[in-house]
Structure 1
Amino acid sequence: MPFVIAVLLAADAVSLMAAGDRAFAARDFRAALFAYQDLTREDPGSASVWVRLGETYARMGHDLEAGESFSRALRLNGKNASAKEGLAASRERLAILSPPPKPVVDEAGARERYTAAVRMINERNYRDALNALDEALRKRPGYAVALVARGSARMGLLDYDAAAADYSAARGSDPSLASPLFGLAEAYRALGQPAKAAQLYRAYAESPATDVQPALKEYALRNAQSLGSQ
């Protein structure tokens, strides 16, 4: 490259750097960005130029582009502390903004644990049933029938408040089910709230849901009438 052209290019690079630095100091990040982008074309082998561009992108909230600029600087100079710090900060912000990974659902495993727990409840083995249902819900969060069953296990352990919480969660997870209404009625009755229990028994008995059991429907109607008159 002829000496005169090299001098002119160097002068232009210095001018762009100064313009970018002034704009950055004045918090005019858009103008700084344009100057540093031009500068990367004039002097693409300068790590400090890429660091400045990365810092500008970061201030503008463009962490993906900032990370790319800091990475480019590190490829040119692996010891550049500003580039290392900038890259780490950009990655941290991106991680915070990224949605959390969806939990892995194990449908078959959850169903197996639920089925085993129902058997344990029928055998009045409530403590082991509770452990099995905790496993089922870890494998499939929000598993409505498992929440209902866990409520029943808690009822067997006389933990009525926790049972009511499980039945309420099941109701929220799958509003099409009637069984959480029956469970809540039983829990509120045990907690000494007959009026609330009567409403829930009646709601269960009048529900068109497919999981309503005829025998429980009659039981619920009788309880709704007897508790409602108290």
Structure 2
Amino acid sequence: MVVLRSFVVAVSTVLLLGAAEPSAPARSAFERGEAAMSAGRVDEAATAYREALAATPGYAAALNGLGSVLFRQGQVSEAIARFREATQADPQLKMAFFNLGYAARKAGDAATAAQAYERYTQLEPNDTDGYYGLGESYRQLGQKDKAVPAYQEYVAREKRPGEQIWVRKAREHLTAMGAAPLPATTTVPTSVAAAPAQPEALPSAAESPAVFPESRPASAGGVADAERTQNPALAAARIRDGHALMKERRYREAAFAFLDATHADAGHVEALFKLGNAMAVLGYYGQAVEKWERAATLTEDAAIRQSAQDNVARARTKMSQAGASPQAAGQLPGSGPVADTTRAQARRAYEQGVQRIGSRDYGGALTSLTQAIQLEPMLAVAYTARGSANIGLRRYAEAASDYQYAMELEPGSASPLYGLAESYRALGRNAEARGLYERYASSSATDVRSQLQEESRQKAAKLR
């Protein structure tokens, strides 16, 4: 159910011996649940997963899916129970152990978290996120003798450039526990998934559904470090959306879906590669080249790197044949400059989204605001408003991603600070939420509101 940064898990694979073999109706209901979850229709997903469990009791993947829904809805203890049942139903279901560890750690049950992460690292020893969670769990238990090797394993294995701040954090914990410092390692990013060789080729479907990512406390710093948290689950969901749109030949919309994926996880090789594919189909060869070149630098997979290089060569040939155009200049669809009529449509969609938020129609607001972003990709207030819609839907990780990107577009704006603080508080990341509330309370930005400043001071005080 969760796509991590370094690998893809297909929950629809054949269940191992001992797990409940789903019936055809159960599998059909489960697939409906997956589709609804990917689209953010959480209540619909819950109904579908429960139908799958009614048809095949003990269906591990459906238990895991239902647990993910409950977690998103804030029912953490119930989510933990479903994840535990999933691990009992299928002791080989990696993501159930990962989700159990994550949810238990967020609930303050470090003992359960440690046991789950131990099993997860046995099942998936190449995923670094498990070692970080294991180290955090043992540190919270005060078991330094077990926390130290877990952190050391994480530091030794973690090569992704976007994760190096957590390597530094792990080193800080090791130093605080009196462990010998490990030598710094060269950053060599890992591969995610293979992609097609032709710029015009359609990308293969990402089979694994996304639920929620592993999240960690951020260190002090600017937006790029402190507030820019990677969300591989959201990235995977948007990749699937983009793939479906590509199949329907809705290339422009697909490009924005893949662009959303790169906002959610800046180092996601598959997202970058497929964004390049969509850009190439639209004739934005310069932009496609940029994405493929970045994907090539982030992967250790020789086949992916060669595919990216081949695509770059073909695109450069196309560029040499193209005349002066936004595509030839490498601009994103809908950018630089946006036509007045398109800008007006974007503003109408934005205003409609804000109105729907006011009437608590958060699903409708999400649709309107996504349309506004597609029409005007640099409209920072639309990302801020979409973050609010996501909070209304209790999609806190997605909300955080929107607020983070709004801050990148308009660093001097205060509204995303408050929204991001709310998101982090809902995710249990209280230290970061407190810092953001304090920043909002002391902000002199033009969009700051005195009432929210006072609320921010009160909320920051409660989180001390």
The two structures have a TM-score, normalised by structure 1, of 0.57
AA matched with 2:330: P
Q: Is 1:122 the equivalent of 2:358?
A: yes
Identity of aligned residues (%): 43
Partner of 1:145: 381
Local SS of the residue matching 2:333: coil
Match of 2:329 among 93, 99, 104: 99
Offset at residue 115 of structure 1 (A): 0.7
AA matched with 1:119: Q
Higher relative contact order (CA 8 A, sep 6+): 2
AA matched with 1:94: S
Offset at residue 95 of structure 1 (A): 5.0
Query: Closer, same or farther in 2 for the Cα pair 1:94/1:171, shift >3 Å?
Result: same
Instruction: For 2:427 and 2:315, locate their aligned partners in 1 and report how far apart those are by CA, in whole Å.
Output: 52
Local SS of the residue matching 2:463: helix
Partner of 1:202: 438
Match of 1:132 among 358, 368, 371: 368
Query: Closer, same or farther in 2 for the Cα pair 1:100/1:196, shift >3 Å?
Result: same
Q: Which runs of 5+ in 2 are unaligned?
A: 1-313
Query: Closer, same or farther in 2 for the Cα pair 1:129/1:92, shift >3 Å?
Result: same
Instruction: For 2:316 and 2:446, locate their aligned partners in 1 and report how far apart those are by CA, in whole Å.
Output: 52
1:44-193 alignment to 2 at 5 Å? 92=318, 94-95=320-321, 98-104=328-334, 105=338, 106-193=342-429
Number of residue pairs the alignment of both structures matches: 141
AA matched with 1:159: R
Partner of 1:215: 451
Q: Which runs of 5+ in 1 are unaligned?
A: 1-87
Instruction: For 1:109 and 1:167, locate their aligned partners in 2 and report how far apart those are by CA, in whole Å.
Output: 22
Offset at residue 90 of structure 1 (A): 8.8
AA matched with 2:386: R
Instruction: For 1:129 and 1:151, locate their aligned partners in 2 and report how far apart those are by CA, in whole Å.
Output: 10
AA matched with 1:227: L
AA matched with 2:378: G
Offset at residue 225 of structure 1 (A): 1.1
Q: Is 1:226 the equivalent of 2:457?
A: no
Local SS of the residue matching 1:196: helix
Instruction: For 1:126 and 1:225, locate their aligned partners in 2 and report how far apart those are by CA, in whole Å.
Output: 30
Local SS of the residue matching 2:351: helix
Offset at residue 176 of structure 1 (A): 1.6
Offset at residue 100 of structure 1 (A): 2.4
Partner of 1:67: none
Offset at residue 162 of structure 1 (A): 0.4
Query: Closer, same or farther in 2 for the Cα pair 1:153/1:222, shift >3 Å?
Result: same
Query: Closer, same or farther in 2 for the Cα pair 1:93/1:125, shift >3 Å?
Result: closer
Query: Closer, same or farther in 2 for the Cα pair 1:98/1:185, shift >3 Å?
Result: same
Query: Closer, same or farther in 2 for the Cα pair 1:192/1:112, shift >3 Å?
Result: same
Query: Closer, same or farther in 2 for the Cα pair 1:194/1:107, shift >3 Å?
Result: same
Query: Closer, same or farther in 2 for the Cα pair 1:123/1:89, shift >3 Å?
Result: closer
Offset at residue 103 of structure 1 (A): 2.9
Instruction: For 2:316 and 2:424, locate their aligned partners in 1 and report how far apart those are by CA, in whole Å.
Output: 52
The two structures have a TM-score, normalised by structure 2, of 0.29
Offset at residue 92 of structure 1 (A): 2.8
Offset at residue 94 of structure 1 (A): 1.2
Instruction: For 2:315 and 2:393, locate their aligned partners in 1 and report how far apart those are by CA, in whole Å.
Output: 50
Offset at residue 110 of structure 1 (A): 1.1
Instruction: For 1:126 and 1:89, locate their aligned partners in 2 and report how far apart those are by CA, in whole Å.
Output: 41
Offset at residue 108 of structure 1 (A): 1.2
Offset at residue 109 of structure 1 (A): 1.1
Offset at residue 98 of structure 1 (A): 3.9
Please tell me whether Structure 1 or Structure 2 has the larger radius of gyration of its CA atoms: 1
Offset at residue 107 of structure 1 (A): 1.7
Local SS of the residue matching 2:394: coil
Instruction: For 2:373 and 2:419, locate their aligned partners in 1 and report how far apart those are by CA, in whole Å.
Output: 18
Query: Closer, same or farther in 2 for the Cα pair 1:113/1:195, shift >3 Å?
Result: same
Offset at residue 131 of structure 1 (A): 0.4
Partner of 2:142: none
